[in-house]
Structure 1
């Protein structure tokens, strides 16, 4: 018996206890220990066995330390079958999360007890896979195909009570999992219960309409991701074959997905989520305590930031210019909290709202530990706000700006404590979007940066450290790949062709749809802000300026690049004369979707390499995380830097140099990209060199 699994006895009951902290991951020692424990159970005189976890949960999923290493026997599908074939009854007593392989072990048992607070589910598609140890074959036999089609393509999970309702578990209990497991086992013994093998249950009924609907939904939602549709295929196998054949087909699909680039992209993203907050300069640095947050500005962004803090249990004081604006901000936040209740993210709306104070006087921020401004994107306005904050905030309080582009160092000059100043760039809607760019200014104290990362964790956001430049990481790169789209328009592509090609690549929106959603006035004001320092070789989308002057600002005015009825848009061909005027006598050509994607992504990667080379982003993985969480880059591709590595940096650089022959200003190759190609290295190599 391995140390990761203990075999104990309590009268007629054998207790098989998984003890592999911190999350009881299903590594080799646990799999081997479960196998040996079942062998021992078969040989002794215990009449029933209970499998349970020690610590906070039943069984975690795969052991991430084994990712990328050759698999070792016993494999998990065989362990689940070994449990299921027991001649004596086996109970799985589940507390905490039982996800992925943990859920599959539970399905291999004959009976399932879930403690209140437990969750069962299959997150495998989030790693580009499907359940690979019988989950897609056993669950439909217990629940029917409907719940399986709801859960598996989404990588979702259900609560203990939901699991009982759909038939995934047999009993829900409260209290101590060991005592509840023993009680259930003895009830089963009293009832003379026999082994009830899930694999021996009747084949689930095939529901053609349900499968058609699931495929239609996930073809639309997955945007090229293959695992959700493969999960649907695997569930359908359970309705068409016997159990053993279904297990073999599930395993074939699973192993095929293991070899796909999508799975590699999802694994890359998975590990980057864990690496992005590991910064050497923060080792041993303790964050400051945050118990009260101030927010200045109650518009869409300020209200979203306040909502995010309230949902994290932080009291918020929000400052607006007058009573009417403060009342409107409270209404917006109330609506946000109502939506959170509907999504199941919040139970006590009124209790949460009680922690919000909307005021018009900055003096109310005297006790705040952190103040975040979310006012108009104008340097003068922001510096005025910071000067006022400097006079009212207590010593040690942090002053944060939510600016999307502006120089945080200059903002800090309006205070007497630049070490307390930092950028916290939230993405809209701030209470929903996961990305938080932490913009570290020249004099920002290390414990202020550590506090920003601790706050992000409390808000359940992914924080990325960024340096100071126009647009930081994300918006700087966005401006460049949007510039590539504008140049393709001048060369002959239409906005709608570009949007269609970019969505076909896997992004949720094309650049012109995104512009309509954000508001075309934002782009116009950005161009006006940069006009005085713009390089004369740069391209200005004059057609977009003409649209602004026509009052066509996108969705909020019903017309932009698209004409809208509600949120559904159709191409607004009235903009074509503006585009033709901008093209002048420039030579025209057609673009294939693949050519559009190549130029768009090449511009993204080239600018990202400049961002890394300048130290604005510490590592390529920081860029990947930023684009995944803030800009909708498809997770199954891992991020633009991983995409570039897969495409091959030499070929990408060759294309950039070829385009630079006609547009040397825009397509100037990144020095870092040229260096990596010359040295035969990749962005992945840079990530490895900077692993902490």
Structure 2
């Protein structure tokens, strides 16, 4: 019997799918002479996961564990034939089958921990039996997706085949089965206590106290050493408890927000430009990173730089690095702008200077043809002003990559006043092909993510004047959930980057504005961060992290003396964190008022993926909407007091509704 799972568009394992499978499996168990059952998905995918919308309330019977029990009690072998995605509950269903076969392009994974939960249908118990506790800990706690060839190598799959032969291979596998062979009856492979302990330590450090990962680790470690029925019951109870938690709600919010952020209602009927060749202008670190990103995704890439030798060297380096990963890159250095004429997309990534960028976009615009798209990677500059230097302003928009482009997930798509729907649709399509999380923004200083991060950094600097040390601020933000504190981040990225931006904006700065000169004094002393061995902290051989430095203390003390705050009592860690986050929230409100951001969901996606706002808080807007209004008002008042007469209060009612 072949049971086809057909629930377009992605075969999410909602109630209807579960009920249909349960009915089919019960029928199979009552069919005389049946050799076995093959479960296969329609539409090129198995089951892409559970219906996340069900996690907010009671889950109707049959639950997935009940369906899995039907699979294991079925008197004949059940084989999962996997194409496309088998994620979450889809993979747990496959784990309960007697054997599994997949196409070579199939993708598998258990992402529940990334949604604030643990696998709830046997994933923490059956996966360790299939691949061992060490690998199961890493896969479950990271939520990492893995490819079918890897699963075959680990012994999780019986075969890997083509899509055209998937069903016949699965049927042959059914006929070859000697009988039932559930993973539930197998022990976990013996990997040695030291290996498991090491895996636990690594996963626990990366979890940074998040309850879902810690509970998943505990359940996997105990797999095979305690009664399966008891552990399955505990796993399900933990799943049900965690899915109703505030953290899981925040992560589900991001799950849906990230999927909506790259869509626009006016683009539904627009056919994007087909892009095969991409030009990148600028072979510095950012330009090279963008070029590598496109080359990695099989685009033909032309890299242009005024320094021809640098472009040649970067092209060679990119080809070599990708070759080591098994990718044959179509990566070419070119010397003249007319060599970009056949590109369907050109991204400029030259120095952040309006005159320089204007010259580049004007020269590129003159050689592009048809529906080609011209993108600027500017972080702050006005794209509408840049468009005035082109003959085709409709083809220009911003594609703001974050450094390094090959790793950072956010891609801000900046829609100028003249940007055409086709240009925007093409950029969004490219973002998805590159595996990025796109957010649409309008023109505004710093756009969305950098604008919020600037407010965050500015208020953390105010805290230095008002009694806090860099270490105290960094530790407070780590405790809130940021991956790094703001001053450690500044040292890592280089203090000179923000210094250059402040110098660019200095002429227009309000003389009444409260200005913290501490980072300027550090830069002027040659303390640019990690790359010079000193910034806010001191670095050197044998130091695993930055060390507190008396020179920085003296710079801060001198600034406090000039501002009249010497001797100020340091605020508490909680006060520091809430002031810093409230500053982000206020800036988010301004972004919505000004129309730079479309909605609060986009703001949250930009903050989480652009500068590391903690995912488990859901983003600054979600966080603000889920704390008491009186507490938020209290800290927004402190934000206003810290900034002084130039503070601009955002519309909180608009933000929270």
Q: TM-score range by the shorter chain?
A: over 0.9
Where does residue 310 of structure 1 map in the other structure?
295
Structure 2 contact 452–607 (Cα < 8 Å) conserved: no
Q: How much does 1:664 deviate? A: 3.3
The answer to whether structure 1 residue 458 and structure 2 residue 433 are counterparts is: yes
State the alpha-carbon separation in 2 of the partners of residues 336 and 407 from structure 1: 35
Q: How much does 1:244 deviate? A: 0.8
Structure 1 contact 656–667 (Cα < 8 Å) conserved: no
1:495-543 deviation line (CA, Å, top 9, x unaligned): 1211111122211111111111221111111111111111123233322
The 3-state SS of whatever aligns with 2:49 is coil
Paired residue for 2:74, among 52, 69, 86?
A: 86
State the alpha-carbon separation in 1 of the partners of residues 148 and 338 from structure 2: 47
Q: How much does 1:275 deviate? A: 0.9
**Structure 1 285/87 Cα, relative in aligned 2: closer, same or farther at 3 Å?**
closer
**Structure 1 283/103 Cα, relative in aligned 2: closer, same or farther at 3 Å?**
closer
State the alpha-carbon separation in 2 of the partners of residues 662 and 298 from structure 1: 41
Q: How many residues are treated as equivalent by the alignment?
A: 650
State the alpha-carbon separation in 2 of the partners of residues 75 and 555 from structure 1: 53
Alignment of 1:15-54 (within 5 A): 15-45=2-32, 46-54=34-42
State the alpha-carbon separation in 2 of the partners of residues 92 and 125 from structure 1: 24
Structure 1 contact 211–232 (Cα < 8 Å) conserved: no
The answer to whether structure 1 residue 574 and structure 2 residue 543 are counterparts is: no
* Unmatched 5+ stretches in structure 2: none
Alignment of 1:161-310 (within 5 A): 161-174=149-162, 175-188=164-177, 193-202=178-187, 208-310=193-295
Q: CA RMSD in A?
A: 2.2
Q: How much does 1:67 deviate? A: 4.6
Structure 2 contact 134–199 (Cα < 8 Å) conserved: no
Alignment of 1:575-654 (within 5 A): 575-584=552-561, 585-586=564-565, 588-654=568-634
The 3-state SS of whatever aligns with 1:148 is helix
State the alpha-carbon separation in 1 of the partners of residues 173 and 251 from structure 2: 39
The answer to whether structure 1 residue 407 and structure 2 residue 382 are counterparts is: yes
**Structure 1 160/206 Cα, relative in aligned 2: closer, same or farther at 3 Å?**
closer
Q: TM-score when scaled to structure 2?
A: 0.94
Where does residue 464 of structure 2 map in the other structure?
489
Paired residue for 2:134, among 129, 146, 152?
A: 146
Stretch of structure 1 that moved more, 26-35 or 661-670: 661-670
The 3-state SS of whatever aligns with 1:463 is strand
State the alpha-carbon separation in 1 of the partners of residues 227 and 646 from structure 2: 60
**Structure 1 21/536 Cα, relative in aligned 2: closer, same or farther at 3 Å?**
same
Alignment of 1:519-538 (within 5 A): 519-538=494-513
Where does residue 500 of structure 1 map in the other structure?
475
**Structure 1 448/136 Cα, relative in aligned 2: closer, same or farther at 3 Å?**
same
Structure 1 contact 23–59 (Cα < 8 Å) conserved: yes
1:246-289 deviation line (CA, Å, top 9, x unaligned): 11111111112112211111101100111112212323233233
Stretch of structure 1 that moved more, 468-477 or 219-228: 219-228
**Structure 1 330/572 Cα, relative in aligned 2: closer, same or farther at 3 Å?**
farther
State the alpha-carbon separation in 2 of the partners of residues 294 and 662 from structure 1: 45
1:54-102 deviation line (CA, Å, top 9, x unaligned): 3312223102454535311011011101211223332223333222111
Where does residue 337 of structure 1 map in the other structure?
322
Q: How much does 1:418 deviate? A: 2.1
The 3-state SS of whatever aligns with 1:133 is coil
Structure 1 contact 657–668 (Cα < 8 Å) conserved: no
Paired residue for 2:147, among 137, 145, 159?
A: 159
**Structure 1 533/158 Cα, relative in aligned 2: closer, same or farther at 3 Å?**
closer
Stretch of structure 1 that moved more, 557-566 or 397-406: 557-566
Structure 1 contact 489–495 (Cα < 8 Å) conserved: yes
Q: TM-score when scaled to structure 1?
A: 0.89
Stretch of structure 1 that moved more, 71-80 or 394-403: 394-403
Structure 1 contact 303–332 (Cα < 8 Å) conserved: no
**Structure 1 512/468 Cα, relative in aligned 2: closer, same or farther at 3 Å?**
same
Where does residue 340 of structure 2 map in the other structure?
365
State the alpha-carbon separation in 2 of the partners of residues 113 and 661 from structure 1: 63
Structure 2 contact 366–391 (Cα < 8 Å) conserved: no
